[in-house]
């Protein structure tokens, strides 16, 4: 009896959830509303800051839903489908692992695209406080995405290496 690669199933479920959330953000609400709770959480105190933040979001949403974003989302979904096909359908762990590397690459590209979209739209802020807040939060989000991607790559790489070593030992 073959040992099932439980780690791949767990990573596949986690990636599927993340991809669904990314997909949902493309079809989410495009009307920008700023509630008092959001303004308080972001420390937006003046009417100008609130107006600039809404304008920033109105400029950002089309960038995050543009053709480049659609291409990257398509790559992400396609790679995830390839992982599922090779893992669940063909039960080929090696091809599933390589497809997973592609999926992780698409994830990092989407994160980079989001970072660049944030950076290009911060010019609407006259307040240095808001500009710094948006640049800092977008960089922090990107770095967190890279760390998650590196963890996934490390898990898959080392498991793939040990899988290959065990197969070579049997031959």
Instruction: Tell me if 144 is assigned to some domain.
Output: yes
**Residue 31 belongs to some domain of the structure:** yes
Domain count across the chain = 1
Q: What is the pLDDT of residue 146?
A: 97
Domain presence at residue 141: yes
Q: Which residue in this structure is represented by tokens 């709770």? A: 37
Residue 25 lies in a domain: yes
How much is the pLDDT for 114?
93
Nearest to 110 by CA among 14, 5, 9, 19: 19
- Give the Cα-Cα-Cα angle 147, 10, 12 (nearest 5 degrees): 80
| 45 inside domain | yes
The whole-number mean pLDDT for each consecutive block of 10 residues of the chain, a chain of 171 residues, reads 80 92 80 83 86 89 90 94 93 92 95 94 88 92 96 94 81 62
Is residue 80 in some structural domain?
Answer: yes
Domain assignment of residue 125, yes or no: yes
Q: Is residue 88 part of a domain?
A: yes
Domain that holds residue 158: 6-170
Structure tokens given for 116: 């660049």
């Amino acid at each position: 009896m073959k040992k099932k690669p439980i780690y791949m199933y767990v990573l596949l479920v986690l990636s599927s959830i993340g991809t669904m959330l990314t997909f949902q953000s493309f079809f989410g609400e495009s009307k920008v509303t700023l509630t008092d709770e959001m303004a308080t959480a972001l420390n937006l105190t003046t009417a100008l800051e609130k107006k600039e933040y809404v304008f920033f979001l109105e400029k950002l949403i089309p960038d995050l839903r543009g053709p480049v974003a659609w291409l990257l989302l398509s790559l992400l979904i396609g790679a995830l489908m390839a992982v599922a096909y090779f893992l669940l359908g063909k039960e080929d762990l090696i091809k599933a692992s390589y497809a997973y590397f592609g999926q992780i690459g698409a994830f990092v590209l989407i994160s980079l695209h989001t970072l660049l979209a944030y950076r290009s739209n911060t010019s609407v802020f006259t307040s240095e406080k808001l500009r710094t807040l948006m640049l800092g939060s977008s960089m922090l989000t990107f770095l967190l995405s890279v760390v998650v991607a590196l963890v996934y790559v490390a898990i898959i790489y080392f498991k793939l290496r040990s899988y290959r070593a065990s197969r070579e030992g049997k031959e």
